[in-house]
C-alpha cells in the first residue's frame, strides 16, 4: 500500500521529491505549472535531468500530474475548449517526459451547453487529447463532488466518456473519497464501500481505477459541495475512511492526500502519519490529522 500526497513544485520539479520525503509520502502528485493560470509549464533540460535523477534515486513513486483548474472541455466557448485541450495535451507530454504514471484531470461543467452536449463535447475532446499526445501518457478522469453542473459526479458519466472512445487502455479513473461522499455515491460505511465499488465496476470497470485521492470531507453526504478536510476532522472521519484501506480490491492503489493541513499549505507529515496509522488499523493519534 502506497500512501502519499499532493505537494508543491514551486522552486523546480526536483523539489517534489524533497517535499515528499520530508512528509513521508510514498507516492506523489503535483502541478507542472500554476493551476490558476493558462501559462504552459516550462522546465529546462537541467531541471528535468535533475528531476529524473532524483526519481531514479528512490524518489516517491508513482508520480502523477494534476491538470490546471481552468480546464472546461464542455465550455460553450470554443476558444476556451481549445485552450483546455492544448493544456491537457501539454500536460500529457510532460507526463511522458517525466515518466509519470498519468495526468489526473477534472473535465468541466455542463452549465453552458447542458448535460447531453457536454457529454458529447467532453468525449470528443478527450479523444483528441489522447490522439495528440504520447501513447505512454495515461489520462485519469477524476470523480467530482458535483457542485452545479460539474461533470463527473456519477460513474455513469465517466463510463460513458470511456466507452464512447472505445475504452482506450490509456484512459483511467481517479476516485476522490471526499468527492464520492459529497456527491452521495458513498455513505461512509463498509457496506457503502462495497456498493460504491460494485457500481464503479458496473459502469467503468475496476481495472480502470488507477489512483485514490484520500481526503476527508468538510461538507455533508450528498451536499455536492467540494470541501476537503484533514483526515478525521470531516464528516467521513476515521470510520468513513478506514474501509478504503481495509478493502482487498484497493490494496494496490496509490493513495494521495489533498488535505488542507494545519497551515492550509497542503498535506503535512502528521497527515501522512494519520493515514498510515489508519491503514495499519490503528486509531489515529489524538493530534494526528487534527488542526491546532
Q: Contact positions toward Zn ion, by CB under 5 A?
A: 142, 176, 213
Min. distance of Cβ 169 from Zn ion in angstroms?
22
Q: Which is nearer to Zn ion, 71 or 193 (CB)?
A: 71
Residue nearest to Zn ion (CB): 213
Contact between 152 and 143 (Cβ < 8 Å)? yes
- Cα→Cα distances 147→150, 151, 202, Å: 6, 9, 24
What is the number of other CB atoms lying within 10 angstroms of the CB of residue 275?
30
CA-to-CA distance for 70 and 238, rounded, in angstroms? 32
Min. distance of Cβ 57 from Zn ion in angstroms?
28
Min. distance of Cβ 174 from Zn ion in angstroms?
7
Q: Which is nearer to Zn ion, 137 or 145 (CB)?
A: 145
Q: Which is nearer to Zn ion, 9 or 54 (CB)?
A: 9
Q: Which is nearer to Zn ion, 213 or 227 (CB)?
A: 213
97-121 core/surface letters (b: 16 or more CB in 10 A; e: else): bbebbbbbbbbbbbbbbeeeebbeb
Min. distance of Cβ 274 from Zn ion in angstroms?
18
CA-to-CA distance for 88 and 46, rounded, in angstroms? 24
- Cα→Cα distances 250→5, 7, 23, 100, Å: 17, 23, 23, 20
DSSP H/E element including 269: helix 269-279
Return phi, psi of residue 170, to 5°.
Answer: -70, -15
Min. distance of Cβ 178 from Zn ion in angstroms?
7
Q: Which is nearer to Zn ion, 125 or 217 (CB)?
A: 217
Min. distance of Cβ 67 from Zn ion in angstroms?
8
Residue 9: closest CA among 66, 53, 56: 66
Q: Which is nearer to Zn ion, 54 or 208 (CB)?
A: 208
Biggest distance spanned by C-alpha atoms of the chain? 51
Q: Which is nearer to Zn ion, 14 or 23 (CB)?
A: 23
Min. distance of Cβ 66 from Zn ion in angstroms?
6
Amino acid at each position: 500500500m502506497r500512501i502519499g500526497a499532493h505537494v508543491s513544485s514551486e522552486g523546480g520539479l526536483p523539489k517534489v521529491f524533497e517535499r515528499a520525503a520530508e512528509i513521508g509520502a510514498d507516492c506523489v502528485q503535483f502541478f507542472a505549472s500554476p493551476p490558476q493560470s493558462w501559462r504552459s509549464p516550462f522546465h529546462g533540460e537541467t531541471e528535468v535531468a535533475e528531476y529524473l535523477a532524483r526519481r531514479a534515486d528512490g524518489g516517491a513513486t508513482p508520480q502523477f500530474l494534476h491538470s490546471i483548474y481552468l480546464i472546461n472541455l464542455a465550455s460553450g466557448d470554443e476558444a476556451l475548449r481549445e485552450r483546455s485541450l492544448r493544456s491537457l495535451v501539454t500536460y500529457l507530454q510532460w507526463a511522458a517526459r517525466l515518466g509519470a504514471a498519468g495526468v489526473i484531470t477534472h473535465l468541466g461543467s455542463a452549465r453552458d451547453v447542458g448535460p447531453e452536449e457536454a457529454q458529447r463535447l467532453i468525449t470528443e475532446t478527450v479523444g483528441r487529447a489522447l490522439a495528440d499526445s504520447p501513447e505512454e501518457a495515461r489520462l485519469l478522469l477524476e470523480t467530482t463532488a458535483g457542485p452545479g453542473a460539474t461533470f463527473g459526479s456519477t460513474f455513469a458519466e465517466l463510463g460513458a466518456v470511456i466507452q464512447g472512445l472505445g475504452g482506450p487502455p490509456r484512459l483511467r479513473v481517479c476516485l476522490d473519497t471526499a468527492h464520492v461522499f459529497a456527491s452521495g455515491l458513498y455513505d461512509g460505511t463498509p457496506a457503502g464501500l462495497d456498493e460504491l465499488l460494485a457500481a464503479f465496476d458496473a459502469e467503468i470497470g475496476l481495472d480502470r481505477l488507477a489512483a485514490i485521492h484520500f481526503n476527508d470531507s468538510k461538507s455533508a453526504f450528498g451536499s455536492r459541495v467540494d470541501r476537503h478536510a484533514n483526515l478525521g476532522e470531516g464528516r467521513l472521519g476515521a470510520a468513513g475512511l478506514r474501509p478504503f484501506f481495509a478493502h482487498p480490491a484497493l490494496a494496490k492503489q496509490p493513495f494521495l492526500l489533498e488535505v488542507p493541513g494545519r497551515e492550509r499549505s497542503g498535506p503535512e507529515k502528521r497527515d501522512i502519519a494519520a493515514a498510515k496509522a489508519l491503514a495499519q488499523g490503528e486509531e489515529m493519534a489524538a493530534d494526528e490529522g487534527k488542526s491546532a
